[in-house]
């Protein structure tokens, strides 16, 4: 599982300007030094070299090679972690784009200020008596998807006759990916309204 990073939290609490960190060149030295895993054993467990150093110089040399081998390993672990971070925080990552769509109305298809819309729903004290069905797309288990789902629950507070249905698909356009769910929801609302009018 790839770790998802919240760039805003990193920016505020851990690393200022991290949101501008999208690219880096860190050479992979493993290709050049293909024997890096065996430096210590090749130099000091090899019988032809074992007698080349007399104690304490032998121990100093072993310590030096051990430290170099450990630093080499740490360097590549840090390199791999850096590239992993960049892979999940690049601007074309869907999770990052989704958060940008929430924060900036010009970046989402509907040009809706979602933060303002959410605040309007939260501030509304009235609970209405009309039928309301909230359709929510299937989401991943990442943090942003959970936030999106939790925010949609807020809409249920608008009506005492509210329901929430989840699509089987992770698609914003539920009417395209699961039209039967949309049709059934509309039918339920219409039937509920007709039953109350009579």
Taking only the tens of pLDDT, the chain with its 198 residues reads 445 556 666 667 677 776 667 677 888 888 888 777 777 777 666 655 666 667 787 778 778 888 888 888 899 899 988 887 777 666 565 555 666 667 777 777 777 787 787 777 677 667 788 899 999 888 777 676 777 777 788 888 888 899 999 988 887 788 888 999 999 999 999 999 988 875
Give the pLDDT confidence score for residue 138 in this predicted structure.
Answer: 82
pTM for the model: 0.42
Q: What is the number of other CB atoms lying within 10 angstroms of the CB of residue 45? A: 11
* Cα-Cα end-to-end distance for the chain: 54
Give the pLDDT confidence score for residue 45 in this predicted structure.
Answer: 64
Question: Which residues lie closer than 8 Å to 60 by C-beta, 6 or more apart?
Answer: none
As a whole number of angstroms, the distance between CA 84 and CA 195 comes to 56
Give the pLDDT confidence score for residue 2 in this predicted structure.
Answer: 46
Query: Which of these, 163, 185, 182, lies nearest to 171 by C-alpha position?
Result: 182
Give the pLDDT confidence score for residue 164 in this predicted structure.
Answer: 92
């Amino acid at each position: 599982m790839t770790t998802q990073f919240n760039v805003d939290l990193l920016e505020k609490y851990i690393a200022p300007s991290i949101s501008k960190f999208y690219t880096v060149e860190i050479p992979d030295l493993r290709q050049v030094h293909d024997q890096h895993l065996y430096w210590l054993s090749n130099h000091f467990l090899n019988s032809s070299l074992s007698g080349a150093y007399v104690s304490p110089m032998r121990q100093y040399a072993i310590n030096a090679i051990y430290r170099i081998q450990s630093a080499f390993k740490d360097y590549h672990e840090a390199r791999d972690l850096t590239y992993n971070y960049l892979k999940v925080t690049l601007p074309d990552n869907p999770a990052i784009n989704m958060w940008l769509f929430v924060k900036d109305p010009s970046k989402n298809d509907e040009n809706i200020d979602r933060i303002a819309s959410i605040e309007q729903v939260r501030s509304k004290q009235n609970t209405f008596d009309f039928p309301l069905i909230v359709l929510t797309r299937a989401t991943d288990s990442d943090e942003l998807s959970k936030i999106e789902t939790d925010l949609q629950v807020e809409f249920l507070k608008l009506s005492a006759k509210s329901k929430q249905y989840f699509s089987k698909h992770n698609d914003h356009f539920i009417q395209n990916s699961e039209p039967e769910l949309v049709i059934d929801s509309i039918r339920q609302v219409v039937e509920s309204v007709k039953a109350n009018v009579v």
